[in-house]
Structure 1
């Protein structure tokens, strides 16, 4: 069974998509098979990895994206997976092991227009369809918007672990606090749809400091986050092995360049060769996540 990880914080603008795309790419570089689910209506991960020309065709067509799996008679998860998504400009697949379930702007309809079967809520649809393909992967990672509305619920219900991308600021601490509260409420509402054999409801297992600007002292924000983590751990509201990751990601212009090129930063020319770069940060984070496996 793969590790299923949801990246989520109630604070937006923490660099969540860049974190998940580049960490997933690093895991794939190490020989892991990774499926990235894009549950964020902004579609940033999908546009990044598919590049705008391929993604535009998907957005115009309407089929073949995440929202299709909720429409009866349309696609299932196994139909919409884009295999080895990262390509060169000539169409050559250059990062084997990283697949994506892409999304388009029509995913916003899941929040209001979607009327599903009350006995088969949207998050259970995702869980049950994923069972058909999950053994092909070592990791399934979910890029979710900064809330626990319908789209995020799909990732949360299906996940076994939650990691919280954060900036070293007070708003990230507030976002983490609100996330833990909302998680507990969702787990109570969805409990009746969990079946025997499923993993326990996902809880927070880690906080990852991201997009840290040069010359910024993070010790005070880190201390405050650790105090809140300790409080939640004592209350059993997060995993008992929850931690602040030692690996932290620096802010770097190459990340923004990578988006334009449609590549993870590890494939952006000189950046991958530099001895001390953000590429190394992502590689260290991926290795730390890989070591932080769950002991059931």
Structure 2
């Protein structure tokens, strides 16, 4: 069974998409098979990895994306997955093992236009489709928007772990606090739909400091986050193994360049070869995540 992980914080602008895209790529470079499920209506991960030319075709029709699972009756998750999504300009795969279930701007309609049956909510339907393909992967990573509305619920209900990207600021601490509260409310409402064998509902298991600018001292924000994490752990509101990751991701202009190129940072020219770069940060984080199992 794969590890199924949501990346989410109630605060936006924490660099969540860059974190999940580059962590996914780093896990693949470690020999893992990874599916990135884009549940953010901004579609940033899908646009990044598919590039605009391929993604635009999905956005025009809505077919072949997460949106179509709920508004096109014949589409299933297994049918919309883009295999080996990272390609060079000639269309050849250059990172085999990284697949994506893409999304489009239309996914926002899930909030207001999808009429679900009370006996089978949208997140249970989605979970059943995840079960059909999960054994093809070592990791399934869900890129969620900064809320626990319908799109995020798809990932939160299906996941068994939640990681919280954060910046070293007070707003990230507030976002983490709100996230824990909203997760508890959602888990309480959805408890009756959890089936035997699903395991416990996903709780926050890790906080990752991301996009850290040069010469910024993060010790005080980190201490405050640790105090809040300790409080929640004592109250059993987060995972018992929840921690702040030792691996931290620095801010770097190459991340913006990687988006333009449609590549993970670890495949961008000279940066990929440097001994100490943001690409190294992502590789270290992938290693730490890979080791952060319930047995630790």
Normalised by the length of structure 2, the TM-score is 0.99
1:294: Cα distance to partner?
A: 2.4
Is the Cα contact below 8 Å between 1:34 and 1:98 reproduced in 2?
yes
Q: Which residue of 1 aligns with 2:281?
A: 281
For residues 60-209 of structure 1, the aligned pairs below 5 Å read: 60-71=60-71, 73-209=73-209
- SS of match in other structure, 2:200: coil
Structure 2: state its 5+ residue gaps.
none
1:125: Cα distance to partner?
A: 1.0
Distance 1:73 1:7 in 2: 28
Equivalent pairs counted in the alignment come to: 296
1:62: Cα distance to partner?
A: 1.5
1:72: Cα distance to partner?
A: 5.5
Distance 2:78 2:157 in 1: 19
Q: Which residue of 1 aligns with 2:231?
A: 231
Distance 2:234 2:194 in 1: 26
Is the Cα contact below 8 Å between 1:82 and 1:100 reproduced in 2?
yes
Structure 1: state its 5+ residue gaps.
none
Distance 1:200 1:83 in 2: 30
Distance 2:204 2:255 in 1: 26
Distance 1:5 1:171 in 2: 23
Distance 1:80 1:6 in 2: 20
Is the Cα contact below 8 Å between 2:7 and 2:162 reproduced in 1?
yes
Distance 1:54 1:83 in 2: 13
- SS of match in other structure, 2:13: coil
Is the Cα contact below 8 Å between 2:250 and 2:278 reproduced in 1?
yes
Q: Which moved more, 1:276-285 or 1:57-66?
A: 57-66
Is the Cα contact below 8 Å between 1:205 and 1:239 reproduced in 2?
yes
Q: Which residue of 2 aligns with 1:15?
A: 15
Is the Cα contact below 8 Å between 1:70 and 1:125 reproduced in 2?
no
Normalised by the length of structure 1, the TM-score is 0.99
1:273: Cα distance to partner?
A: 1.0
Q: Which residue of 1 aligns with 2:46?
A: 46
- SS of match in other structure, 1:221: helix
Aligned alpha-carbon RMSD (Å): 0.9
Distance 1:243 1:156 in 2: 19
The runs of at least 4 aligned residues of structure 1 exceeding 2 Å deviation read 71-74
Distance 2:294 2:195 in 1: 20
